[in-house]
Chain A
C-alpha cells in the first residue's frame, strides 16, 4: 500500500511569544501511515497527540514553531510554499472530527449542516444533494435529515458531524477524541462508523483516544509520550508490554491486568487477552493445563 502520511522528525512548541519557556510539545516524531490504514494514537494528557492531529490538518496557529516534514499525499504541508489554496485542498483530503459535537454543527437542520462543506466547494446542487444523502446513509442518519441537530443525542450529533466530513469525500479522517464526551451507546456507534468507513469505504482512519478498548480494533497502535513515539505495533504487541505502557503513563485494559495478576500468582499464560472473550478463553485454557 502507498504511503499517505509521512511525518519526518517533527518538532513543535506552542506560544514562543509568551514570557515563560515553553517545552516542545512534539520532539522528533517519525510516523508513516499507509493509504487505507486504521491507526489508533494513544497517550496521556499532554503527550502531544492532539497537537499532532491538528498539525496534519493545519488547524493550528504558530506554524513557524514547527520543524521537520509532514508529507500528505506527497505534499510537504509545512513547506514555505504552502498557500491558502493548498491548505484548502489539504482539508478536502484530510477531514477532522473533534471532541465536542456541539462545537462543530453549524446549521439548524441536519441535512443543511452536512451540505455546508460541499456548498462551499461551489458544487452543482444535484451533486450536493447526492453527497448529502449518501453521507447521511453511511452514518445511518438518513431518517434524521430534516431534524434539528440540537435535539439529537451526543452520538447522533457526532454522526452528523462525521457525515459533514464524508460529504467532502476525504481520503483520510482524523478523529480527535471524538468519543470522549459520549455515553457507551454513542461510543459504540462512532467506533462502528469508523470501522465501516475504513473497511468498506477504504478511508484512512486516524483515531486519537483514551479508551484502550477502541484502540484494540485498529490495525496499528501508536503510543506517544512526552512528544515522542514510545511504542508502536499491532494492538496485541502494544498491550502485551505492560511495563512500556505504564512508563508512558497508560494502563492495560482491565482484562489484560487480570491476566497479568494471574501470571504473578503462578498460572502459566503466554498470551495476552484484551477483550473479555479472549481473556476468558485464555484463562480456561491455562487453568486446565495448570490443574493437570
Chain B
C-alpha cells in the first residue's frame, strides 16, 4: 500500500526561547498508509495532540518535514491545496463547537466554505449524515436539541462533509456509552470504506484501538516507541506495560494464561481472536 501521510524527523518545541520551553516531539518519523485506520496511543503529554495539529498544518514543525502524498506541506512550492480541507481534524468533545441553527447548516458549513455549489453541498451533507448513521429527518432540527451522542455524530459529520483525504479524530468516543461508542466507530469505518480516506484515531482506549485499527503508533515522551500493524505492536506488550501504558484487557488475559503455562498466542488483542485461540488450545468442538 502506498503512503498517504508521512512525518520525517519532526521535532517540535512549545514556547521556544521562553522560560516555558517544552520539547513536545523529538525526532519523530512514521508513515500512515492509504486507506488505513491508524491508532495513535500514548500518555497525556506524550505528544499526540501536537501531532494532530501538525497533520493539518495548524502547527509547523520546528525541525523536520510533514509530507502529504509525498509533498512537503511547508515547502514554498507546495501546490496541494488548502490543508484544512485535505486533512480534517475532529477535536476532543467537538459537540461544543456546534453553532448553527439547524443540523443541516452546521454540517454544510465546511463544504460551503470550500466554495461548493448549493447542490453539491446538499449531496455532501446527505453523504455525511449517512456515514454517521443518521437519517435526513434530523437535518431540520436544532443541534442543541439532540442528545450528547447525536451531537457528537453531527459534529463529526461536519468534518466528513468536507470529504478530507485524511480524517484525524481526537478521542472521538470519549464520554459515550457502549452503544454510542459503537455508533461512532461504525461511522468512521463507513467513511473510510466509502471514500478510501486514511483515518487517524487518537484514543486512550486500548480495547477500541485493538478492535478498530489496522496500524498503531505508540508515542512515549515525545518519541515514537512502537509502530506497525496492531498485532505486532500488542505482541510487544512488555514494552507497553514498562512504559506504564494499558494493554487491551484481552491481551492481559492471554498473557496471564501464557504465564501459567497454557500454549497460546499472547499477542492476541480482540475477543474473536482470543476465542479462536482458546478453542484451538483446549481442542474444543
The answer to whether A and B interact is yes
Nearest Cβ on chain A to B172's Cβ, whole angstroms: 14
Question: Contact flags (1/0) for A277-292 with B, using CB distance below 8 Å?
Answer: 1011001100100110
A180-B175 in contact (CB<8A):
yes
Contact A254 B249, beta carbon cutoff 8 Å: yes
Alpha-carbon separation in the docked complex, A154 to B174 (Å): 14
- The chain A residue with its CB closest to the CB of B171 is A181
Q: Are B176 and A210 in contact (CB under 8 A)?
A: yes
Whole-angstrom CA separation of A55 from B262 in the bound complex:
51
Interface pair B253/A210, CB less than 8 Å apart: no
B228 at the interface (CB under 8 A from A): no
| Interface 0/1 of A250-270, CB less than 8 Å to B | 110111011001100111000
Which stretch of A77-85, A119-127, A183-191 is in the interface? Answer: A183-191
Is B271 a contact partner of A261 (Cβ separation < 8 A)?
yes
Does any Cβ of A come within 8 Å of B57's Cβ?
A: no
Contacts of B246 in A (CB 8 A): 184
B275:A258 contact, CB within 8 angstroms: yes
**Interface contact A262-B275, CB-CB below 8 Å:** yes
Inter-chain contact A266/B284, CB cutoff 8 Å: yes
Q: Report yes or no: B44 in contact with A266, Cβ–Cβ below 8 A.
A: no
- B149 within 8 A of partner (CB): yes
- Residues B282 and A291 in contact, CB atoms below 8 Å apart: yes
Query: Which one, A177, A180, A283, contacts B253 given CB within 8 A?
Result: A283
**Is B44 touching A186 in the complex (CB atoms < 8 A)?**
yes
Chain A residues near B67 (CB-CB < 8 A): none
CB contacts (< 8 Å) of B285 on chain A: these are 265-266
Q: Tell whether, in the assembled complex, residue B176 and residue A45 are in contact, meaning their CB atoms are under 8 Å apart.
A: yes
Instruction: Pick the residue among B177, B249, B274 that contacts A249 (CB under 8 A).
Output: B177
CB-nearest residue of chain B relative to A264?
B275
Q: Looking at A153, A186, A210, A291, which has the most chain B CB atoms within 10 Å of its CB?
A: A210
With both chains docked as a complex, state the minimum distance between the C-beta of B216 and any C-beta of chain A, in angstroms.
Answer: 16
Chain A residues in 8 Å Cβ range of B282: 267, 287, 290-291
Which of B44, B147, B279 is within 8 Å of A46, CB to CB?
Answer: B147
Contact present for A45 and B260 (CB under 8 Å):
no
Q: Is the CB of B284 within 8 A of A257?
A: no
In the assembled complex, the Cα of A156 lies from the Cα of B115 at a distance in Å of: 45
Type the 1/0 row for B239-260, where 1 means its CB is closer than 8 Å to any CB of A.
0000011101110110011001
Q: Is B190 located at the chain interface by the 8 A CB criterion?
A: no
Chain A residues touching B, range: 35 or more
The chain B residue with its CB closest to the CB of A266 is B284
- From B44, B244, B252, B283, contact of A154 by CB (8 A): B44
How many residues on chain B are close to A (CB under 8 Å)? 38
Produce 1/0 per residue, B159-185, CB < 8 A to A.
000000000000000111111100000
Point out the residues of chain A lying under 8 angstroms from B249, CB to CB: 253-255, 276
In the complex, A44 has a CB within 8 A of chain B: yes
Residue B133 CB within 8 A of the other chain? no
A45, B174: Cβ atoms closer than 8 Å: no
Residues of B contacting A250 in the complex (Cβ-Cβ under 8 angstroms): 177-178
**CA gap between A276 and B266 in the complex, in Å:** 13
Report chain B residues within 8 Å CB of A277. 256
For window 1-53 of B, CB contacts with A under 8 Å fall at 43-45
Q: A265 — which chain B residues lie within 8 A by C-beta?
A: 275, 278-279, 284-285
Q: Hey, which chain A residues are within 8 Å of B281, CB to CB?
A: 287
Chain B residues positioned under 8 Å from A44 (CB to CB): 177-180
Q: Which of A251, A262, A267 contacts B178 (CB 8 A)?
A: A251
In the assembled complex, A99 has its CB within 8 A of some CB on chain B: yes
Give bound CA distance, A43 to B178, whole Å. 10
Contact with A along B121-155 (1 / 0, CB 8 A): 00000000000000000000000000111000000
Within 8 A of B (CB), among A126-184: 153-154, 177, 180-181, 183-184
A153 pairs with B44, CB closer than 8 A: yes
Judge if B204 is at the interface, Cβ distance under 8 Å: yes
Q: Name the residue on A nearest B176 (C-beta).
A: A45
Q: Give 18 A-B contacts (CB < 8 Å), ordered by A residue.
A: A44-B178, A44-B180, A45-B177, A180-B175, A210-B176, A210-B178, A251-B178, A258-B250, A258-B275, A261-B271, A265-B279, A266-B284, A267-B284, A280-B260, A283-B278, A284-B260, A287-B278, A290-B282
In the complex, the 9 A-B pairs of residues with the closest C-beta atoms, listed nearest first: A280-B256, A276-B252, A251-B178, A44-B177, A180-B175, A183-B44, A254-B249, A261-B275, A276-B253
Residues of A near any B CB (own CB < 8 A): 43-46, 99, 153-154, 177, 180-181, 183-186, 210, 249-251, 253-255, 257-258, 261-262, 265-267, 276-277, 279-280, 283-284, 287, 290-291
Apart from the given pairs A210-B175, A258-B250, A265-B275, 17 other A-B contacts in the complex at a CB distance below 8 Å: A44-B178, A45-B148, A45-B177, A45-B180, A46-B147, A153-B44, A177-B175, A180-B175, A183-B43, A183-B44, A185-B43, A255-B250, A257-B271, A258-B253, A265-B285, A266-B284, A280-B260
